[in-house]
Amino acid sequence: MRILLVEDDPLLISGLLTALRHAHYGVEHVADGVSATQALKVNHFDLVILDLGLPRMDGLDVLRHVRAAGNDVPVLILSAREGTRDRITGLDLGADDYLVKPFELDELLARIRVIERRRSGVTVNQLQLGALKMDLASFAVYWHEQRIDLQRMEFMLLKHLVESPQRVFSRAQLEESIYGWGDGAESNTIDVHVHHIRKKTSADVIKTVRGVGYRLGEVEA
Ligand code: CA
């Protein structure tokens, strides 16, 4: 899951980036409203965390802009305590949820999981493919009931595939979903992650689609 963080408070930015990356999300950050609309025009995101008080274009205008462009990306608003009217306007403009500053990081992460579940139509924090189970709250992965140790990128890659089990992804699409802008991923990195995931589980978990990329495989329970 790829998140765009739109926030101009330097203290919040570093804390949020650290927490979100630690929680295995791919995160990009911009600090003003105009950059936010530009980023959303050219890149796919699965969630926008949107501060309302922003330089150049305020958060509500960003939201108006994004929805008017037909982009239905989930949006979670961050607002000041006194901003009740803005929160209501934001929800009416199509925001999915809001948090009032200051908030607990754990609550933000829980609300992100709710949005993720809504998006994927799953009602629990667990993704399952036969003998493979992923717990999205604790980042634990189980293979035949045995806990296995996946690196952060491996977890993100596998989760991305499990969330869209029918879909074939190119290497470029997978790279985009798990790396940030300009992280300069080596062209063979996705193959390396896939190799490691298969080694830790089974070769059947991820299927190679020749000439295209990868898709989720089929695994017996
Ligand atoms: Ca602000």
pLDDT in tens, 6-59: 999 999 999 999 999 999 898 999 999 999 999 999 988 999 999 999 999 999
Q: Which residues surround the ion ligand 1 when the cut-off is CB under 5 Å?
A: 8, 51, 53
Kindly give the distance from the C-alpha atom of residue 136 to the centroid of ligand 1, in angstroms, as a whole number: 29
DSSP 35-97: HHHHHHHHS--SEEEEESS-SSS-HHHHHHHHHHTT----EEEEE-TT-HHHHHHHHHTT--E
Nearest-angstrom CA–CA distance, 199 and 178: 20
Kindly give the distance from the C-alpha atom of residue 122 to the centroid of ligand 1, in angstroms, as a whole number: 33
The single residue listed with the structure tokens 């989760």 is 159
Nearest-angstrom CA–CA distance, 48 and 4: 5
Q: How many Å is the maximal CA-CA distance in the chain?
A: 55
What is the band of 116 on the pLDDT scale with cuts at 50, 70, 90? Answer: confident
DSSP-derived letter for residue 134 is: E
pLDDT, position 175? 86
Nearest-angstrom CA–CA distance, 13 and 68: 27
Kindly give the distance from the C-alpha atom of residue 80 to the centroid of ligand 1, in angstroms, as a whole number: 9
| pTM for the predicted model, two decimal places | 0.74
Nearest-angstrom CA–CA distance, 16 and 30: 12
The mean pLDDT of the chain is 90
Contact (CB, 8 A) for 139 and 116: no
Kindly give the distance from the C-alpha atom of residue 99 to the centroid of ligand 1, in angstroms, as a whole number: 13
Starting from the edge strand earliest in sequence, which strands make up the sheet with 213-216, in order? Answer: 169-170, 213-216, 206-209
Kindly give the distance from the C-alpha atom of residue 6 to the centroid of ligand 1, in angstroms, as a whole number: 9
Q: Please write the tens of the pLDDT for every residue from 142-196.
A: 999 999 999 988 998 999 898 888 899 999 888 887 776 555 556 678 999 999 9
